[in-house]
Amino acid sequence: MARLTKNKHEQTLAKKPTGITGFDEITGGGLPEARPSLICGEAGAGKTLFSIEFIIRGAIEFGEPGVIMTFEEKADDLEKNVLSLGFDLKKLQKQGLVWIDHVHIDRTEIEETGEYDLDGLFIRLGHAIDSIGAKRVMLDTIENLFSGLSNEGILRAELRRLFGWLKEKGVTTIITAERGQNSLTRQGLEEYVSDCVILLEHRVINHISTRLLRVVKYRGSLHGTNEYPFLIDEEGFSVLPVTSLKLDNNVSPQRISSGIPTLDAMLGGNGFFRGSSILVSGTAGTGKTSIASYFADASCKRKERCLYFAFEESPKQITRNMKSIGIDLQKHVDAGLLEIHSSRPTLYGLEMHLVAMHKVIKKFKPRTVIIDPITNLITIGSMSEVKSMLIRLIDFLQSENITVIFTALVFEKEATTQTDEGVSSLVDAWVLVRDLESNGERNRGIYIMKSRGMEHSNQVREFVIRDTGLELIDVYQGPNGILVGSARRAQELTEATGMELRTHAMSRKDREVERKRMVLEAKIASLREEFESVQDELNRTFLEEELTNSIMAKNRQDLSNNRTNRKPGNGKRK
Amino acid sequence: MAYMGKQDREDADTSEYMLRLFITGSTPNSIRAVSNIRQICETYLKGRYSLEIIDVYQEPGLAQQEQIVALPLLIKKRPLPQRKLIGDLSEVDKILKILDVNKDNG
């Protein structure tokens, strides 16, 4: 994006990249080339650091030598100060990339006798620029001249001449100045430096400080006009352009599992959309962190990096606690897939948290992010501030296609459908875990309040945390409302008993029938026996009759044969 | 370096008043300063001073070493304490006071 804007402006106004994270994005390329820019702010606002980074990054990253002319700190002090940020000024000086000149001016040592000019300064600066071929110059804090020299008329004229001369020299200059009472700078330097004015602020609200940067003026260039939070840490200065003005992020149709199959089932069977934002809200102790950890676990099991921001527990606490419900997060931490960042919300202001998260996310490049819980942020900012911060965070995460889970604590007394951050309208999916109190015990109920762009269950599930893991169970819809916990168990038992009794009754009836059948069958058998014996009797009589008939017939035959067949032959026996 | 040569000369110099004037070429302020200091020295310190005039344009490296910001600059090296005066040296009374020169002695 930055590059695009830069190209667009190249015809009109060339810009010098500062190399400061985020700043070049806000200004669309950096500071105006070959012109002086004014950085103003109160003491300790970070003016010097900003300028030094401009010089050092210019030297290291862009190969442009730079001159540091300091009116406050001695060169040695300066070297020590930036050494803690990992910049070796001594080495850069040896390489001829940086030239440091400490201008010492003390009113007590100098008497003014008539007209003078600041040619000495011009010569020093000119010599420094020419010696190393400098492209960048920093004057920190040139207003000190006003305390060293008393003739304001001469000083003003000379400064005007100096800035003009620097322009002619073609160097990009940063001038730092202390903030005045009613003006941007004590000596009204903004009158002379008309091209680019940047204001750094350090605001303390509720004992928590936030550093803010604002581009007050940037002639001939578009620039962000908001106050941008910035961070000074061990890597230097980073500004965060956290307000994206458009809603044109790419979206993904891909779905990812929540890590709890039964929850996925409630979400149309596939889980959440990738790149979506999910809010898990609930009262204290309802298992929000457990749900988040399951999500982290699932993410790591897919070999996707997950970043866990914890505002309540330390990394060790989380891994220990999650082990008790059967998730081994340590394994993922060791594999480099999971990073847990714990910090107290009160560590710094909201904006700083945002910047810090932004930085870590940019560095770790996770696919999923967990923020547990967002409610604690309320302690360091008002609701509207937290909301605006979360909008920007969600915006940023969506632009990176990172899925994020927020957990939020809902207070018992408030309406359960209200999250105090008012973020429910921002998120794509909202899972509510709620205490269901009845019969002297508390149980957890889980609802899907909303889930944009997918079919989702409208039912309450009972949410049970066991040492083996999380489980969602269908609740009983009884005559007295829904039944959960012991009541559900009791109902289950009652039903199981009823079932047992019914099966018992059934089997008794079965046996009765069996017995009846056997009796009848026995009867049938005896009747059949009887019938058979009658049949036998009848058969016997019939057979006897027949036998008698046949024997009689035979006898008759024999008799007749005896009478008719008396032959002599038969008398052979004689 | 040329400056080191001056340092040697400085040691050899035994004048009571040792003055050094830094100027920038022939700008009006410089020309005025040179003529003013010459006149003051000739009037009040005749024979007791040494005056060295250095054009910073010719030796730009000197500006950083001598912590020069405003010009013209007159440095009174001796007698101690060392004092610095900037400007075209037109305020004679003030200069004499700083140089610790009694006007009547002149």
* pLDDT beyond 50 at A1: no
* pLDDT beyond 50 at B25: yes
Average pLDDT over residues A409-419: 59
Q: Please name the residue that has the structure tokens 């911060």.
A: A389
Q: Is B37 exposed, middle or buried (0-12, 13-18, 19+ CB in 10 A)?
A: buried
Among residues A199, A191, A195, A198, the alpha carbon closest in space to that of A220 is found at A195
Query: What is the tens place of the pLDDT at every residue in A69-109?
Result: 999 888 888 888 888 888 888 999 999 999 999 998 888 88
| B27–A119 CB contact, under 8 Å | yes
Among residues A177, A277, A178, A198, the alpha carbon closest in space to that of A32 is found at A198
pLDDT at position A46: 87
Helices (H) and strands (E) in chain B, counts: 4, 4
Which residues of chain B does A101 touch, with a Cβ-Cβ cutoff of 8 Å?
Answer: 64
Cα-Cα-Cα-Cα torsion A144, A147, A149, A150, nearest 10 degrees, comes to: 140
Average pLDDT over residues A519-526: 94
The alpha carbon of residue A192 is apart from the nearest alpha carbon of chain B, in Å, by 20
Rounded Cα gap, residues A223 and A214, in angstroms: 10
Nearest to A123 among B60, B67, B88 (CB): B60
Among residues A367, A316, A369, the alpha carbon closest in space to that of A342 is found at A316
Structure tokens at A285: 């102790």
pLDDT at position A567: 60
Of the CA atoms within 13 Å of residue A383, those in its CB half-sphere come to: 7
| B61–A127 CB contact, under 8 Å | yes
Q: Which residue has the higher pLDDT, A537 or A235?
A: A537
| A103–B87 CB contact, under 8 Å | no
The amino acid occupying position A331 is: K
Average pLDDT, chain A: 83
Average pLDDT over residues B52-73: 89
Contact A140, A51 (CB under 8 A): yes
| B88–A116 CB contact, under 8 Å | yes
pLDDT at position A288: 87
Which residues of chain A does B75 touch, with a Cβ-Cβ cutoff of 8 Å?
Answer: none
| Chain A contact probe: residue of B69, B76, B84, B98 with most A CBs at under 10 A | B69
Distances (CA, A) of A570 to A23, A496, A535, A573: 156, 102, 49, 7
Structure tokens at A557: 């035959």
Domain ranges of chain B: 17-105
Contact A39, A51 (CB under 8 A): yes
Distances (CA, A) of A88 to A2, A57, A229, A237: 29, 12, 27, 16
Average pLDDT over residues B42-68: 88
Rounded Cα gap, residues B80 and B18, in angstroms: 10
For residue A521, the surrounding DSSP H or E stretch is helix A485-564
> Does any CB of chain A come closer than 8 Å to the CB of residue B67?
yes
Rounded Cα gap, residues A214 and A198, in angstroms: 6
Query: What is the tens place of the pLDDT at every residue in A280-335?
Result: 888 887 888 888 998 999 999 999 999 999 988 899 998 998 888 888 889 999 99
Residue of A nearest to B90 (CA): A114
Structure tokens at A411: 């207070």
Residue of B nearest to A122 (CA): B69
* pLDDT beyond 90 at A522: yes
Nearest to A114 among B22, B67, B88 (CB): B88
Average pLDDT over residues A217-241: 79
Residue of A nearest to B94 (CA): A113
Q: Which CATH entry fits the domain spanning B17-105: 3.30.420.40, 3.40.30.10, 3.40.640.10, 1.10.10.10?
A: 3.40.30.10
Percentage of chain A beyond pLDDT 90 is 28
**Alpha helices (H) in A170-286, listed in sequence order:** 261-266
Structure tokens at A488: 């559900």
b/e map of A308-319 (b: 16 or more CB within 10 Å)? bbbbbbebeebb
The alpha carbon of residue A104 is apart from the nearest alpha carbon of chain B, in Å, by 6
- Of A125-139, A308-322, A442-456, the one with minimum mean pLDDT is A442-456
Q: Which residue has the higher pLDDT, B11 or A337?
A: A337
Q: What is the DSSP letter of A85?
A: T
Which residues of chain B does A114 touch, with a Cβ-Cβ cutoff of 8 Å?
Answer: 32-33, 36, 87-91
| Chain A contact probe: residue of B55, B64, B92 with most A CBs at under 10 A | B64
Structure tokens at B97: 């006071």
Nearest to B67 among A104, A111, A145 (CB): A104
pLDDT at position A308: 92
Strand, coil or helix: A191: helix
The model's confidence at residue A519, banded by pLDDT at 50, 70 and 90, is very high
Cα-Cα-Cα-Cα torsion A136, A233, A30, A69, nearest 10 degrees, comes to: -20
* pLDDT beyond 60 at B2: no
* pLDDT beyond 90 at A570: no
- Of A187-191, A403-407, A412-416, A460-464, the one with minimum mean pLDDT is A412-416
Strand boundaries in A58-131, DSSP class E: 66-70, 98-102, 110-112
Which residues of chain B does A123 touch, with a Cβ-Cβ cutoff of 8 Å?
Answer: 24, 56-57, 60, 63, 68
Rounded Cα gap, residues B20 and B77, in angstroms: 7
Which residues of chain A does B98 touch, with a Cβ-Cβ cutoff of 8 Å?
Answer: 111, 113
Structure tokens at A28: 């669309």
Instruction: Please state the length of chain A.
Output: 574
Contact A132, A96 (CB under 8 A): yes
Nearest to B24 among A105, A112, A119 (CB): A119
Rounded Cα gap, residues A66 and A57, in angstroms: 10
Q: Which residue has the higher pLDDT, A10 or A161?
A: A161
pLDDT at position A101: 92
Residue of A nearest to B99 (CA): A111
Which residues of chain A does B86 touch, with a Cβ-Cβ cutoff of 8 Å?
Answer: 110-113, 116, 149
Cα-Cα-Cα-Cα torsion A387, A393, A399, A402, nearest 10 degrees, comes to: -120
pLDDT at position A262: 83
* pLDDT beyond 50 at B1: no
| A115–B29 CB contact, under 8 Å | yes
The alpha carbon of residue A21 is apart from the nearest alpha carbon of chain B, in Å, by 34
The model's confidence at residue A247, banded by pLDDT at 50, 70 and 90, is low
Give, to the nearest 10 degrees, the angle between helix A75-83 and helix A47-61: 80
Which residues of A have a catalytic role annotated?
Answer: 72, 312
* pLDDT beyond 60 at A6: no
Q: What is the DSSP letter of B82?
A: P
Which residues of chain B does A116 touch, with a Cβ-Cβ cutoff of 8 Å?
Answer: 29, 70-72, 86-88
Contact A348, A377 (CB under 8 A): no
CA angle A493, A497, A503 (to 5 degrees): 145
Distances (CA, A) of A496 to A450, A488, A499, A533: 35, 12, 5, 55
CA-based end-to-end distance of chain A: 154
Average pLDDT over residues B68-93: 88
Q: Please name the residue that has the structure tokens 């015990």.
A: A441
Of the CA atoms within 13 Å of residue A367, those in its CB half-sphere come to: 19
Residue of B nearest to A99 (CA): B64
Q: What is the DSSP letter of A189?
A: G
* pLDDT beyond 90 at B22: yes
Average pLDDT over residues B14-43: 89
| Chain A contact probe: residue of B71, B86, B92, B97 with most A CBs at under 10 A | B86
Rounded Cα gap, residues A261 and A329, in angstroms: 19
Among residues A472, A433, A523, the alpha carbon closest in space to that of A263 is found at A472
* pLDDT beyond 80 at B71: yes
> Does any CB of chain A come closer than 8 Å to the CB of residue B88?
yes
Average pLDDT over residues A377-406: 80
| Chain B contact probe: residue of A70, A74, A102, A117 with most B CBs at under 10 A | A117
* pLDDT beyond 60 at B8: no
pLDDT at position A39: 92
